[in-house]
Homo-oligomer: A and B are copies of this chain.
């Protein structure tokens, strides 16, 4: 790994002639002092070395070269500091500006990339076998880029993209750990129930595809399932309710990892102003034409300020941002919150047809924090209790898979250590007697169970007072998806539903009012 840079340090005023000699000394000395500080013995040529220099009255030009320790960009920052101190003390002048004129990197890769790639801040990226040669765009490498270490992050990002290329998707890591007995012959409905649900007025389609108004009978079922989850999982396990926001600021989505999949979220833009006068032209247009003109409205919006909550658990980690916890407390009393504060959203595209996959959907989100062992235990107990509901009460055929955690991929991290002894994610999948409208699969994932290790403690910067591991986890159970598979198994006839569900609803199912023209049957 080699870094080569041409840099010009511009002085705040002209260097006096008598200073040239001592500056020369300073630079010669740098090669054996602060530009090598921290480099392991015997690896001196991996630190930064000034190969050439040219002292001018306006500034000093340097050609730098380094290996992996005290990389050239770190060397530049150290030079900036030491040079400023040296010149300031002796000659009352400083470094006004650092101008990177050339910056090239050559590095060996763990594996050769499968295809070319682009990266920001670069002019050129060449791959020859396992070797990468990167020419940065010198104009992009300003002091912010140096201070915030964009260069190392850029190299990490490059390696990550190469790994992603070679690993492909998530499917590779998925493996079934257990299956229920076969039960498809018991299912009362053998085809997608969406059409029947519409016909019976259990739902009514909203003009936005993948968004439905849920009418009284289906609402009652969803609320009954929510209540069942409260009685069978939430109460016995001591989860406490919180109300999590749904407008997630971009910075929180970034830390959560959601900015790595902007193609899957809805983005929320406030208007440019609160003054109605500024929108008069648009309102006039709408009132006169009776049309909505989204393009005209778009011009009056600010850049996105929020993502619409995608994971539902985003606010959980933000609560602890920069806080310190005591893992002894959390070992005895793990933090266990749940949120059922309305829908969350995923942009699944405009062509959604069935009730199984929605742009707006409902989920009970469990979030927890404790020691590693306790975090795994909590996750496992929620899974066990869910499985009992799905097997005993819902009486569904299902499968449980262990898989790479999606959140890790989203956060831009990929599985490095496959040998860890616990499972990070379980998915619970209901088996269906038909292929769904959205995917060519006769099945539907209905909940997932995660342990994040200390991943979010790192991303959101919270820690134990004695630096012991702080682990988190989350589980999402979707009552609207559970209601969908429940209806497939038990049908639309309330009388035939299991008592464990009926008892939450009462003697009869609330009805959708019968209009002259709707529901049709």
The residues of A with any CB-CB pair to B shorter than 8 Å are 118-121, 148, 150, 153-154, 157, 160, 204, 206-208, 211-216, 218-220, 222-223, 240-254, 259-271, 273-276, 278-292, 294-295, 297-298, 300-306, 308, 315, 318-320, 322-326, 329, 333, 335, 337, 341-343, 345, 347, 349-350, 359-360, 362, 412, 465, 510, 513-518
Contacts and interface: CB of A to CB of B under 8 A. Distances in A.
Contact of A263 (B261, B278, B286, B294): B278
Contacts of A291: 254
A243 B214 contact: yes
B120 A288 contact: yes
A269 B271 contact: no
Nearest to A122: B284
A323 B245 CA distance: 36
B298 A304 contact: yes
B298 A269 contact: yes
Interface of A is mostly: mixed
Residue of A211, A262, A350, A359 contacting most chain B CB atoms (<10 Å): A262
Contacts of A279: 261-263
Contacts of A216: 240-242, 337
B157 A288 contact: yes
Contacts of A342: 246, 341-343
Contacts of A514: 329
Contacts of A249: 206-208, 211
Contacts of A335: 513
B206 A315 contact: yes
B274 A347 contact: yes
Given A241-B219, A268-B268, A360-B246, A323 B518 contact: yes
Contacts of A329: 513-514
Nearest to A215: B242
B284 A119 contact: yes
How many copies of this chain are found per oligomer?
2
A403 B303 CA distance: 36
Given A213-B319, A262-B297, A279-B263, A286 B254 contact: yes
Given A254-B292, A259-B292, A267-B269, 5 more contacts: A150-B289, A153-B288, A207-B318, A263-B271, A329-B513
6 pairs of A and B residues whose beta carbons are closest in the complex: A342-B342, A294-B303, A214-B243, A250-B292, A298-B303, A324-B516
B121 A288 contact: yes
Contacts of A333: 513
A248 B515 CA distance: 24
Nearest to A212: B245
A118 to B, nearest CB: 7
Nearest to A160: B287
Residue of A290, A292, A516 contacting most chain B CB atoms (<10 Å): A292
A211 to B, nearest CB: 5
Given A207-B318, A308-B268, A294 B250 contact: yes
Contacts of A290: 148, 153, 254
Contacts of A518: 323
Contacts of A349: 274
25 contacts: A148-B289, A153-B290, A157-B284, A206-B247, A207-B251, A213-B245, A213-B315, A213-B319, A214-B243, A216-B240, A241-B510, A245-B343, A247-B266, A250-B292, A251-B292, A259-B282, A260-B283, A260-B287, A262-B282, A266-B269, A267-B268, A298-B303, A324-B517, A326-B515, A341-B342
